[in-house]
Amino acid sequence: MIAMLVIGVLSSCCQDINCGTGRLSVIGFINFDTAEINSTIVRRFPQDSPFTIQNKIDSFKLGKYSTISLIANDTTNMTIVDAAPFHLSPGFKYQLYVPGVPDSLRIDSIADKQSQLQACSGTEFSAKSCDNLLVNIYVNGFPVSNSTSYQIIYFTR
């Protein structure tokens, strides 16, 4: 009886916390050298506007706000750090521009699956404790087909 009362009290102290907005945190570059990757500009645009400089909201240099998380053969993965001015997440569209490379990478229609985390009394959780998983991304007008996770995309030269 006492055990049931304790369980009831503890479960009533629990609350659901919405997870943070999903974000694309890793960009893989195939057949690029390090200097090109470090000079890549990430531009953010409103979701419902064309990719034009006039519509650009803001931008940052990838090399300043990322770390190399993997180098394997011809591929270098860059992880965008938390200190970046913005992250590639739902609600906006993005362009990766590499100076000297004629084609840019255009990313849009990012969507995430809303998730919650149950936090009970005595545990410290916040929206930063979990991120929603991305469930949809379009790159250069085509849907990315990825059965495991959309947390990484690749840019091939």
Q: What is the 3-state secondary structure (H, E, C) of 92-147?
A: EEEEEECCCCCCCEEEEEEEEECCEEEECCCCCCCHHHCECEEEEEEECCEECCCC
1 domain residue, yes or no: no
7 domain residue, yes or no: no
The answer on pLDDT for 9 being more than 50 is no
6 domain residue, yes or no: no
The answer on pLDDT for 8 being more than 50 is no
Per-residue pLDDT band at 52 (split at 50, 70, 90): very high
113 domain residue, yes or no: yes
Tally of domains in the chain = 1
76 domain residue, yes or no: yes
35 domain residue, yes or no: yes
- pTM comes to 0.79
30 domain residue, yes or no: yes
Per-residue pLDDT band at 84 (split at 50, 70, 90): confident
Range of the domain at 53: 15-156
In percent, the amount of the chain with pLDDT more than 70 equals: 83
Per-residue pLDDT band at 32 (split at 50, 70, 90): very high
